[in-house]
Amino acid sequence: MNISDTVRFSRHPLRRLGVSLAAAALGLLMAAGPLSAQDDPGLAAYSRGFSLSLAPNAIMPINGSYADHASLSKAAPFGMGLEVGIHYRMFRYFSLSLTGIENWIPMADDYKTVAYQGQSPAFLLPALSLSGIVHLAVGYPVSPFLRVGGGISPWRFSGSGLTGETWPAPSRPGNDFSKLSPEAHIGFGVETLRFGRFAVLSELRYTFVFARDPSRFGTDDFSEQGFLSLHFGLIFHLN
């Protein structure tokens, strides 16, 4: 990595937070040592069964073009979302996870179209996803995990927040600026066992959305898109 690459990396706050998250998890894992059932009577419940999660998140586009000479990261630089999930721990070190998420990324003032200047236009990125989760350590106060999965994302450009009308496509006004796109993602996170069946969940995730569709939008300027998100919430183990 050269100096310019290092500078570009440092300008993304979510990336810096992700590095800090990984370093903190490794340090705590090495220092704390494993828990026993006497340390946490609810520990056995985490080995297998169902759990539910609720996690707000921050999100930012990091690669992909929005228009000619403009990236989506400039047009819609930063947003937020909320994810809910149901998870099933099949084996001690592996879980399946079904999640639904809604992301809302407001458009920058310079990129609001004339029709929506007085409103709150946004790029909306919902998704329904299925993931496999590999638990890298079990029975520790801090339990790191890796997530790999994919799903579908009915994304769109909205004229006003979550409920506004969908924009017309850039060069095909008869079509909406929206698409049901496949998505793939990978993430690294930690689960900290804190109180009974509740745990704190933190995760840094990269999502790639196959959004390009020249025939639908009438232009090749809007490309495939990549997003970096930081999730922080709670998980409740049902059994």
**8 Å CB contact between 111 and 66:** yes
How far apart, in whole angstroms, are the C-alpha atoms of residue 1 and residue 134? 29
Closest CA to 82 of 49, 58, 107, 116: 58
**8 Å CB contact between 73 and 107:** no
Cα-only R_g, the chain: 20
Looking at the structure of the chain, the number of domains it has is 1
How far apart, in whole angstroms, are the C-alpha atoms of residue 180 and residue 156? 9
Q: Looking at the whole model, is its pTM more than 0.95?
A: no
Task: Give the pLDDT confidence score for residue 12 in this predicted structure.
Answer: 55
**8 Å CB contact between 133 and 87:** yes
Strands 225-237 and 198-209: antiparallel
How far apart, in whole angstroms, are the C-alpha atoms of residue 169 and residue 187? 32
Q: For residue 53, give the CATH number of its domain.
A: 2.40.160.20
pLDDT 10s digit of each residue in the chain, 239 long? 444 444 444 445 555 655 555 555 445 444 444 444 444 444 444 567 999 999 999 999 999 999 988 999 999 999 999 999 999 999 889 999 999 999 999 999 888 877 777 789 999 999 999 999 999 988 788 899 999 999 999 999 999 988 899 999 988 888 999 999 999 999 999 998 778 889 999 999 999 999 999 999 999 999 999 999 999 999 998 97
Cα 54 to Cα 103, 146, 202: the distances in Å are 14, 18, 11
Task: Measure CA of the first residue to CA of the last residue in the chain; give whole Å.
Answer: 46
Domain that holds residue 229: 3-237
